A and B are shown apart, each in its own frame.
Chain A
Amino acid sequence: MDQKITLRHGDGGLHTNRLIRDIFYKHFKNEILSGYQDSAIFTMEKGRLAFTTDSFVVKPIFFPGGDIGKLAVCGTVNDLAAAGALPLYISTGFVIEEGFEIEKLDAIAASMSRVCKLVGAKIVAGDTKVVEKGLVDGVYINTSGIGRVHEHFHPRPISSGDEIILTGSLAEHGTTILLKRYALGLKGDFISDCNPLSQIITALGDSMKHIKLMRDPTRGGVATALCEISESHHIGAIIEEDKLQIRPAVNSVHEILGTDPLYFASEGRMILVAKKGYGIEIVNILKRLENCCNCDVIGVFNNTYNKICIRTSLGGERIVSMLENQMISRIC
């Protein structure tokens, strides 16, 4: 087998066929995919479906805690989870730079396969394009997914008193990527939180009826996700700073750089809005899950606020605004 991707791997001929067979079919193998058909054919269950798509252009492609493949499948699985859906079928499209190492492609496909097995989803359709060196940065991946929405999940308007739950600590993914991308040379316990979250749906079961809304705080972080919820539901909230968990190593990076972890991406956390009075019940269920053991009620929606506000550790208050610009390094 070749060691690097060449333009002939994308010409649709023998080499494309071998690449698909030796990498993608090897890892993604299932009865629907193996038909060599232009479209995947499957029978859908009754009920509501969720459908989502996203593209992934992360740099670096491999990072502590994951790689672009894991991120691509988790991203789609978590978008479905935020819609209250368990993933069923996923499609994937690869745009690969000429010269990309096939060994890396194999590792990425293996990662995607592992996440799919974990969540019970199947990759049933795919596409591969190879472009000239310099046109993309290594590999870009698109994933789309279809999932079945839990029968008890019905997104509803948020009211005063509804509780905000966050399933873990903040900004682990965004900070890890930042450190790797810019080779800042800071040593510490930095690992992306990139993980699939569909187990939340399964674990909550009937309690999904107490969930009004879910959102995964990816780009723009927890702050932007909460601001978007606040704006779209025309209601403010008060968040308790003491309830927001930021690991000391992560916090230190942001103190050094002058950046705010509230705006950095998590790829394995979920914000849930629980009906007033049900927050603790939901938290107690989620805490049993591996990736949600630090789950907590972080705040409450409240009509007296027109924005997201944080009550600081001292008891003061400040506003949390949506991220206006890219977070950048500062001089002093």
Chain B
Amino acid sequence: MTEVEKKLIKKVILQIKDSVTSDIRIMEICGTHTHQIARFGIRKLLTSKIHFVSGPGCPVCVTERGYIDALITLLEQNNVTVATFGDLLRVQGTCGSLEEQKSLGKKVLTVYSPEDVLSLAQDYNDKSIVFAAVGFETTAPLYAALIKTASMLKIKNLFFLTSLKRMEPAIRFVLGNAKANIDGILCPGHVAAITGIKPFLPITTEYHIPAVICGFDEMDLVTSINVLCKQIAGETPVQLINTYKRCVSDTGNEAALSLMNEVFKISEVSWRGIGKIKDSAMILNGNYEAFDACKKFGIEVKSNPHPFPHECECGKVMIGEKTPDMCKNFGCQCTPEHPLGPCMTSSEGACSAYYKYGGSEFGSKNYASTR
């Protein structure tokens, strides 16, 4: 960062302090925003009157235990290899994680991009590769492109267990929860880069809550927080502002949207710790059913009605009702080494950020030092 940028950011921070005269609650829907704010040490530079709460925007955190169970069930079948991004490995299902299955000798492979999966399927054409396709609108176009390519190449041994979620229904769910009590929302710039601004418009037009589409560097974050604070203070009208115009157009990435529409259809899905949300899933449509692991192997992803182990409160953390340090397990029973809930398990999770960066950054006890 240049000295000019640093000076500018410091100036913006002073403006934020001027705008905020009483306690306000800002939700970062996206886990990456949570982590970036902590990593840049932004909280400490702002006024303590700004309270950040997390939202349901970490794909790993909102993945049902039943989804992990289904992947583990697949591993029981002969000749099935499960491919996944690394951050899904440690997420607990009802009876353990993929990481534990791997240590038992089951075929679980970590990939670094969806394209790796195609190579895997071609390299191991005598095996069935099931890809754990988890994510939001950010990754869904990549999966759609992959599925379409696999279809064109007539690849017969690659299947997808999808858990793809849509942001707009989740935002409506959170804003419908009175306990969340949110004054402003930082909207995820990478989702908006695909979807455009439309899914985020209801925040201001229907719920009349200040909102800003925000990127991920220091300047993006302080600028967006400033825009929100001015709206909250009544200095500017409540309206959705896009401060990430270098990546986000009003209409989004039309090629990516078209690809998603070609491969997926909208459905209902259960969000971990939250429950079922109507129209919040993207599942394979009829044209691409041959790639659906559920149909191929006759399995089902069951939503698990039981509460989180040891009364973990990740569900309430993800809808802004509680902060991680309000959970009695946080930092003692629940740590990144022994996570009870997904928000501690995922590197993007709110509890993980609180624990990792802890202390003065979150205005709370230094949990990391109590290990």
Contact = CB atoms under 8 A, between A and B. Distances in A.
A330 B347 contact: yes
A315 B44 CA distance: 9
B55 interface: no
A182 B90 CA distance: 20
A317 B39 CA distance: 8
A318 B358 CA distance: 8
B41 A318 contact: yes
B90 A325 contact: yes
B348 A317 contact: no
Contacts of A310: 41
B1 interface: yes
B66 interface: no
Contacts of B136: 332
Interface in A180-211: 182, 184
Interface stretch (B17-25, B81-89, B243-251, B292-300): B81-89
Contacts of A44: none
Interface string A217-244: 0000000000000000000000000000
B357 A332 contact: no
A312 interface: yes
B42 interface: yes
B7 to A, nearest CB: 11
Nearest to A230: B369
Nearest to B188: A332
How would you classify the secondary structure of chain A's contact residues: helix, strand, loop or mixed? loop
A311 B87 contact: no
Contacts of B190: 332
A14 interface: no
Contacts of A313: 1, 6, 40, 218
Contacts of A45: none
A331 B59 CA distance: 8
Nearest to B112: A329
Most buried by B among A307, A311, A316, A321: A316
A319 interface: yes
Interface string B108-141: 0011110000000000000000000011101100
Interface string B37-51: 011111111000000
Interface in B170-224: 190, 218
The 8 residue pairs across chains A and B that have the minimum distance between CB atoms: A316-B41, A328-B86, A312-B41, A329-B86, A324-B336, A321-B368, A330-B87, A331-B85
18 contacts: A182-B112, A257-B112, A258-B347, A306-B369, A307-B369, A312-B41, A313-B40, A314-B10, A314-B45, A316-B361, A317-B360, A318-B41, A324-B335, A329-B86, A329-B110, A330-B60, A330-B85, A331-B87
Interface of A: 182, 184, 257-258, 306-307, 309-319, 321, 324-325, 328-332
Interface of B: 1, 6, 9-10, 32, 38-45, 59-60, 85-90, 110-113, 134-136, 138-139, 190, 218, 335-337, 347-348, 355-361, 366, 368-369
